[in-house]
A and B are shown apart, each in its own frame.
Chain A
Amino acid sequence: DGGITQSPKYLFRKEGQNVTLSCEQNLNHDAMYWYRQDPGQGLRLIYYSQIVNDFQKGDIAEGYSVSREKKESFPLTVTSAQKNPTAFYLCASASGETQYFGPGTRLLVL
């Protein structure tokens, strides 16, 4: 069953804590992306990776970090430096121009 999986579905962060969101794809796509979605707003790009071991900052990278050690995996870490992390986080992968999205992770702050 091909697709993009994100885990967990819900994640709670305590003050000063780093948390990591998982994104895995078995579509054999080279490119992967992380977006943040706030209520009533469009998606904003956090980081993207065109190839393994390489990634670039998007429009709102501050307070986030990523790694791309494997083609299938693109985890996102929300660091304590991100002061307003409550949002819906979406991972996508792409072959060419078409991006396919995962089901999302909702991050809440305790």
Chain B
Amino acid sequence: QQQVKQSPQSLIVQKGGISIINCAYENTAFDYFPWYQQFPGKGPALLIAIRPDVSEKKEGRFTISFNKSAKQFSLHIMDSQPGDSATYFCAASRMDSSYKLIFGSGTRLLVRP
């Protein structure tokens, strides 16, 4: 019940295309869903986050879509650029569990020029 399942494991997109990464969770008590971006040898950096009372959140080229009934959320990267090539992690946490993050297994994105 504590798992967050992420897919695909890897993704190749042409420059200018849309990258879509999906995550699914079981525990309906989760109330915070962040996405992190990680470059090789670096720590993850918060990209964008959403709460379950909102169905979509957009920040620049990055959009989270949230489907509470399906217990799924996804990251869309519009106009993907080579500089977006990184590993992306979804995560989930609960306020009553000290906001401990449960991470998905990661998606390695490669954007080809």
Residues of A within 8 A of B (CB): 4, 6, 31, 33, 40-45, 48, 50, 56, 58, 90, 92, 94, 96-104, 106
Contact = CB atoms under 8 A, between A and B. Distances in A.
Interface of B: 4, 6, 9, 32, 34, 36, 41-46, 49, 89, 93, 95, 98-101, 103-106
Given A42-B89, A42-B106, A98-B34, A103 B42 contact: yes
Given A4-B43, A56-B98, A101-B45, 17 more contacts: A31-B98, A33-B100, A41-B105, A42-B4, A42-B6, A43-B103, A45-B101, A92-B43, A96-B99, A97-B32, A97-B93, A98-B46, A98-B49, A99-B34, A101-B44, A104-B42, A106-B41
A90 B43 contact: yes
Contacts of A99: 34, 46, 99, 101
A94 B99 contact: yes
Contacts, number: 60
Contacts of A104: 41-43
Main secondary structure of the interface of A (DSSP, over half): strand
A36 to B, nearest CB: 11
29 contacts: A4-B43, A6-B43, A31-B98, A41-B105, A41-B106, A42-B4, A42-B89, A42-B105, A42-B106, A43-B89, A43-B101, A43-B103, A45-B100, A45-B101, A48-B98, A48-B100, A56-B98, A58-B100, A94-B99, A97-B32, A97-B49, A97-B99, A101-B36, A101-B43, A101-B44, A103-B43, A104-B41, A104-B42, A106-B41
